[in-house]
Amino acid sequence: MATTKSNSFIVYCDLNDQLQLLSDEEAGIVFKNIIGYSLTGQLSLTDNKAVNVVLVGMATQIDRNKQKYEEVSAKML
């Protein structure tokens, strides 16, 4: 998805269940990659399937939230 002017994204607490299944190192990789995705729109998958599952899920949620934000913003204009 293309980047927007937003400099933030929402992280839902139910993600905790998935992150608890990862090592601290893997969770750090997820966090760094999802920040990059939010800024650039480019998802950097790894060779770790568990990390990729979490990344893809988070990226999908970020895309949904950005789309909703843009729809609401357009209605306000």
Q: What is the pTM of this model?
A: 0.84
Residue 5 DSSP SS3: coil
Task: Note the pLDDT tens digit of each residue in 39-55.
Answer: 999 999 999 999 999 99
Q: How sure is the predictor about 4, in pLDDT bands with cuts at 50, 70 and 90?
A: low
Q: Nearest CA to 41 among 62, 27, 19, 72?
A: 62
